[in-house]
Amino acid sequence: RTAAGKRNGRISHLHPATLGARVVDHLVAKHPDLDPAEVDDVIFGCVSQVGMQAANLGRNVVLASGVLPLSVPGTTVDRQCGSSQQAIHFAAQAVMSGTQDIVIAGGAESMSQVPLMANMPKGLGVPNSPTCQVVHGEGGFYSQFVGAERVCSQYEVTRVAMDE
């Protein structure tokens, strides 16, 4: 994991693929017995695949890496707030199924480079647009925080129970 920075802070100018490559290179360096050519895949999660995060961030991490050969494939998945977790699950499934042996998984979102909702054009999913109102009902889009409150209310889960 890279350092968590602040919006427009010290690491905000770095390309997300560069940051990802630094983490991958450090990970590979921590395992000197690993031949980088043995890495079967690199899978990155990324929600906002526009701007600096466009054009397959997972593959661009491989290309920006100082240790992975160009023969290592890379891909990017978008599962909204669960993109990085999904990348890790895909990697685990590949290893568990025996189709791959070594997979690097992670994710990136540079909020300084690609602001929240930068990939949502007007009328095609922006909160409270007609499209969202059809899908989500009156009021349109709601955040994961409001969603969590609704789930807790529906299933009568209290804050005290959550803290336990």
36 and 92 co-located in one domain: yes
Output Rg (C-alpha) for the chain, integer angstroms: 19
Q: Report yes or no: 80 and 103 within 8 Å, Cβ to Cβ.
A: no
61 and 134 co-located in one domain: no
Q: Report yes or no: 51 and 113 within 8 Å, Cβ to Cβ.
A: yes
56 and 91 co-located in one domain: yes
Q: What angle do CA 41, 62, 36 make, to 5 degrees?
A: 65
Name the amino acid, one letter, at 101: D
Name the amino acid, one letter, at 55: A
In 3D, which of 34, 57, 37, 55 has the Cα closest to residue 45?
57
What is the full per-residue pLDDT of the chain (164 aa) written as tens digits? 676 778 788 888 999 999 999 999 999 999 999 999 999 999 999 999 988 899 999 999 999 999 999 999 999 999 988 999 999 999 999 999 999 999 999 999 888 888 777 777 665 555 566 666 666 666 556 677 888 888 999 999 998 998 88
80 and 149 co-located in one domain: no
How far apart, in Å, do the first and last CA atoms of the chain sit?
29
Q: What angle do CA 56, 62, 67 make, to 5 degrees?
A: 175
101 and 37 co-located in one domain: yes
137 and 101 co-located in one domain: no
28 and 96 co-located in one domain: yes
In a domain, 134, yes or no: yes
In 3D, which of 129, 126, 147 has the Cα closest to residue 138?
129
Q: Which of 92, 107, 122 is the last residue of a domain?
A: 107
Strands 103-107 and 74-77: unpaired
134 and 103 co-located in one domain: no
Q: How many domains does the chain have?
A: 2
In 3D, which of 106, 109, 97, 88 has the Cα closest to residue 27?
106
Cα 6 from Cα 20, distance rounded (Å): 17
| Domain range enclosing 152 | 130-163
pTM: 0.78
Question: What residue has token string 């009328």?
Answer: 123
